[in-house]
Homo-oligomer: A and B are copies of this chain.
Amino acid sequence: MPVTLADVARAAGVSTATASVALNGKAGVSDEVRRRIREIAERMDYRPSSVGRALRRARTGMVGLYMPNTASTFGYYTETTRGVAEALHRHDLSLVILPSSHETGSTEGFPDVDGYILIEPHAHDRGVPAILHQALPVVSGDTPPRGAGSPWGLVESPNDASTRAVFDRFRARGARRPGLILIERISTWSLDLERSYRTWCGEQGLQPRVALTSARSSNSKLLSDLAEWFDPDGGTDAVLAGGDGIAVRIAGLLRSLGHVVGDSVLLASGVDSPLMEFHTPRITAVDLQPRHFGTVCADLLVELIGTERPAEPVRRLVSAPLIARESG
């Protein structure tokens, strides 16, 4: 049985009102009494019930995090989640992980939260519009798909700049037929990459080379699919691999095709990870700074909770530096 405010008040011989005021540092209690109540609360190891408080304040102190339910090769989501959780904790808020409502498109059974954070909202995920249509603050990391609704806050990465930085670098290192490999076209991020790349190709007078593959197709399948793409004569000679885990796969595949990564073919990853730094050779990558990204989302949401819904989403930008390494 946890200690309640009433227990503390009784022990101190005051009313719960006085105890509450004393513990919350509000005016209306003598210093003497406040000191005594605090001491007693400390001794009794009193912890205010977040439930009682939530009921009275009409705030639960919880924020819901909604992320895609896809298999994750790397730690991107873990890092983002930790960034969010830590930032929220600094504001005395807690983070709840929402189950996917990809198919149902219903927020039934979701716990009561004060706001939502959407990470990488996918097209076709019916949970995304369901969340956006509630009358609660929502911060979205990445622009939600068209028609899903508009968030209160929007945290973005400069995908266009990052993509150009990669391909400009490929160009500077002598690539003549750079290409892009994606594993999905349902995240805004993937779509951004493709659009930026195609625009860049137009500006450079190059023919775009885009390959769409599956994150789950076998090595031999991938090899046969891409062998021609990477043909030594006239094939792709530099590639940005967008999406979770695909860059390392491509590196291995290129090796088995007889290429030397970072020399005969350049390679970069759209998502950095410790493995990019520690792979042999080290892989050039865009650092999306997931932990920091998470904290920015959380901090923005905290600002928006308790305010009116802004006419336009409040925007924040998180830089995504290109980490240049040997591979590309």
Contacts and interface: CB of A to CB of B under 8 A. Distances in A.
A274 B248 CA distance: 11
A246 to B, nearest CB: 9
Given A112-B50, A249-B279, A82 B69 contact: yes
Given A55-B55, A75-B71, A275-B248, A94 B96 contact: yes
Contacts of A158: none
A252 B277 CA distance: 12
A46 to B, nearest CB: 11
Interface stretch (A28-36, A84-92, A145-153, A171-179): A84-92
A52 interface: yes
Contacts of A97: 65, 81-82, 85, 94-97
A253 interface: yes
Interface in A8-66: 47, 49-52, 54-55, 60-62, 65
A277 to B, nearest CB: 8
Contacts of A279: 248-249, 252
Interface string A194-221: 0000000000000000000001101100
Contacts of A264: none
A231 B100 CA distance: 49
Report the copy number of this chain in the oligomer.
2
B75 A72 contact: yes
Interface residues of A, number: 59
A133 to B, nearest CB: 12
A288 to B, nearest CB: 15
Contact of A95 (B47, B52, B96): B96
A108 B73 contact: no
A55 B92 CA distance: 20
A99 interface: yes
A279 to B, nearest CB: 6
A232 interface: no
Contact of A55 (B51, B61, B95, B278): B51
A151 to B, nearest CB: 20
7 contacts: A51-B54, A51-B60, A69-B82, A74-B75, A86-B100, A94-B111, A252-B281
Given A50-B111, A51-B60, A252-B280, 14 more contacts: A49-B112, A61-B111, A69-B82, A74-B75, A75-B77, A78-B78, A85-B97, A86-B99, A89-B109, A219-B282, A248-B275, A252-B278, A253-B280, A275-B275
Interface of A: 47, 49-52, 54-55, 60-62, 65, 69, 71-75, 77-79, 81-82, 85-86, 89, 92, 94-100, 108-112, 215-216, 218-219, 222, 245, 248-249, 251-253, 255-256, 273-275, 278-282
